[in-house]
């Protein structure tokens, strides 16, 4: 059961991380974060005439109605007012203010890519348990960075919409596009991948502690009746080997011992004169 849950966490964290990386990458690279439409209300038949419609993203704005229809311009071009023809100043301010939230999705994309790489390395080498924890931290930081960017994006738009003058003959509509929905979905996926990666680290660490031998098993057991029982574990305490004796030394020692031995005394009672 434990092995199954570990494999399931490994698979789910990889899938969630890959989906989160894919969604935030698509969201950052596309220009359907915000869709706006404004125009006038005709008093004769109470119909609406669209003066301008556009969709914008992190990097560019594309016009689908109005005098700039069919034109896509980069976001930095809005610093020069003569480049494009926008109906009201509040719409131009909205497009300028949303640029303050651009760095946070980019940082989130960098974090989730780093987390995805580290997570896959940790799955290939599961003995490196710390990699699962590091990837989980990066997943969580990526989600937090993204949610900060989304909050700034929404608050910037709401501030400009609240300051917009109310005119009965004009209308203004806006809503968030599928790029924004992809970014919000990637936040949930990355946070889920981060939580599962941290939990996977805890399970692997617990399994390692369970199957790791006790430190006392590594200690040498010394006999209490011998002072030299531990010398076999420490070669530096062994006595130096004795040098072998040559044949000449052995023969000289034998001759000395023979010369020093006195001859045996003669037996008593047997005199040679008798």
Domain residue limits at 126: 1-77+91-210
Q: Is residue 266 part of a domain?
A: no
Mean pLDDT on 79-87: 55
| Residue 47 in tokens | 């119909």
Q: Is residue 117 part of a domain?
A: yes
> What is the edge-to-edge ordering of all strands in the sheet holding 48-56?
72-74, 60-65, 48-56, 34-41, 170-176
Indicate the range of 80-84, 142-146, 183-187 predicted with least confidence.
80-84
| Residue 123 in tokens | 């799955």
Rounded-to-integer distance, Cα 23 and Cα 193, Å: 14
pLDDT the model gives residue 176: 92
Rounded-to-integer distance, Cα 218 and Cα 207, Å: 20
Q: Is residue 14 part of a domain?
A: yes
Q: Is residue 57 part of a domain?
A: yes
Condensed to tens digits (0 to 9), the pLDDT of residues 157-175 reads: 888 878 777 776 777 788 8
Phi first, then psi, for residue 233 (nearest 5°) are: -90, -10
Q: Which long-range contacts (CB under 8 A, 24 or more apart) does 167-172 make?
A: 168/41, 169/40, 169/41, 169/43, 170/38, 170/39, 170/40, 170/41, 170/88, 171/38, 171/39, 171/40, 171/41, 171/48, 172/36, 172/37, 172/38, 172/88, 172/90, 172/91
Q: Is residue 179 part of a domain?
A: yes
Condensed to tens digits (0 to 9), the pLDDT of residues 96-108 reads: 777 888 889 999 9
pLDDT the model gives residue 256: 62
Condensed to tens digits (0 to 9), the pLDDT of residues 2-55 reads: 554 878 888 888 899 999 999 999 999 998 998 888 877 777 666 767 778 888
CB distance 124 to 118 below 8 Å: no
Q: Is residue 189 part of a domain?
A: yes
Q: What CATH number is attached to the domain comprising 195?
A: 1.20.140.150
pLDDT the model gives residue 159: 83
Rounded-to-integer distance, Cα 240 and Cα 21, Å: 67
Q: Is residue 220 part of a domain?
A: no
Distances (CA, A) of 146 to 62, 181, 188: 24, 12, 10
What is the model's pTM? 0.68
Q: Is residue 232 part of a domain?
A: no
The structural domain count of the chain equals 1
């Amino acid at each position: 059961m434990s092995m199954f849950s570990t494999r399931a966490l490994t698979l789910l964290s990889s899938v969630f991380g890959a989906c989160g990386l894919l969604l935030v990458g698509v969201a950052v690279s596309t220009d359907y974060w915000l869709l706006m439409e404004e125009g006038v209300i005709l008093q004769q038949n109470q119909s609406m005439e669209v003066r301008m419609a556009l969709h914008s993203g992190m990097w560019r704005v594309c016009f689908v109605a109005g005098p700039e229809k069919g034109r896509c311009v980069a976001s930095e071009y809005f610093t020069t007012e003569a480049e494009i023809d926008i109906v009201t100043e509040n719409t131009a301010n909205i497009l300028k203010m949303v640029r303050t939230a651009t760095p946070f999705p980019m940082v989130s994309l960098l974090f989730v890519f780093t987390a995805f790489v580290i997570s896959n390395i940790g799955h290939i080498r599961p003995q490196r348990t710390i990699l699962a924890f590091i990837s989980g931290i990066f997943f969580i930081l990526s989600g937090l960075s993204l949610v900060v960017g989304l909050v700034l994006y929404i608050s910037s738009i709401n501030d400009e919409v609240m300051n917009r003058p109310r005119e009965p003959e004009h209308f203004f509509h806006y809503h968030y596009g599928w790029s924004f929905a992809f970014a919000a979905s990637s936040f949930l996926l990355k946070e889920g991948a981060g939580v599962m990666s941290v939990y996977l680290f805890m399970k692997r660490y617990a399994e390692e502690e369970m199957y790791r031998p006790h430190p006392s098993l590594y200690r040498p057991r010394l006999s209490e009746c011998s002072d030299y029982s531990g010398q076999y574990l420490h070669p530096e305490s062994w006595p130096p080997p004795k040098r072998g004796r040559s044949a000449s030394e052995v023969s000289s020692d034998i001759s000395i011992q023979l010369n020093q031995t006195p001859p045996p005394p003669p037996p008593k009672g047997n005199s040679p004169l008798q």
